[in-house]
Amino acid sequence: MLDSPMLPELIQEAQRALGREQRLREKFYRDITPEHKWEFIRGEVIMHSPASNRHLMASQRIFKLLDTFVSIHRLGQVRIEKAMTTFPRNDYEPDVIFFGPAKSAMIEPDTLRFPIPDFIVEVLSPSTEQRDRGIKFQDYAFHGVAEYWIIDPDAETVEPYRLLGDAYPPVERLGDGTVISDIVPGFEVPVRAIFDEEANLAALREILARS
């Protein structure tokens, strides 16, 4: 684009488009309600449909493990769903998010729009997979989300992406073994603990026992 003779016109058109988008975003902030899960992505308001029980259980299990570990070791804060994270262009409500000490210091009791997390977990569903692997994958990486786990509750796998520069290099999908976090020091859990209740309870007991 920089080499195009139409560069000034292209910049003007982009500025007009971003201006329209910003007005829609301001309206979005005025109109959203806490009863639903909303996101604002590239000028579009997205209201999420109800999630399957399989999706909800995977979200709850990884949240319990991460929140328990982070709370015990006082490493920051963890939130599950409906915490709106504000990126330069888009607003997302990821399934599970972690803020280290620096970002946690920015969060107040009345915070409605949260800073960009240090670690995000998204649990795939048919309606969200394209965004989770597309625009969110790019946006999270480009804006410094140090770690991004994609959980597939149907295949029962985890993809633990770690930031390298401003991108996430390819990783192996894990269906068993242990998944380890780099950004949450010492946090490692069996993959099965995300999908199986007994394995989840065993992992929780292990976290508590090590504390």
- The model's pLDDT over 31-72, given as tens digits with 9 standing for 90+, comes to 877 767 789 998 888 888 778 999 999 999 999 999 999 999
Does the domain at 50-210 match CATH 2.60.120.200? Answer given as no
| Cα–Cα dist 25/89, whole Å | 9
Tokens of 18: 């971003």
- Given a cut of 50, the residues of the chain with pLDDT beneath it are none
pLDDT at 1: 61
Q: What are the structural domain ranges in the chain?
A: 50-210
pLDDT at 31: 84
According to the model, what pLDDT value does residue 5 have? 67
Whole-number Å distance between alpha carbons of 28 and 6: 33
Task: Kindly report the number of other CB atoms within 10 A of residue 151's CB atom.
Answer: 26
Look at residue 49 in the predicted model and tell me its pLDDT: 75
Sheet bearing 157-162, strands edge to edge: 77-80, 96-99, 119-123, 147-152, 157-162
pTM of the entire predicted model: 0.89
Q: How far from each other are the two terminal CA atoms of the chain, in whole angstroms?
A: 55
Given CA atoms 123, 126, 131, 137 in this order, what sign does their dihedral have? positive
Report the distance separating Cα 98 and Cα 76, nearest Å.
7
Residues 6+ apart with CB under 8 A from 143: 87, 88, 116
CA 83/CA 87 separation, integer angstroms: 13
CA dist 129 and 187 (Å) reads: 26
The first and second tokens of residue 98, run together, are 């972690």
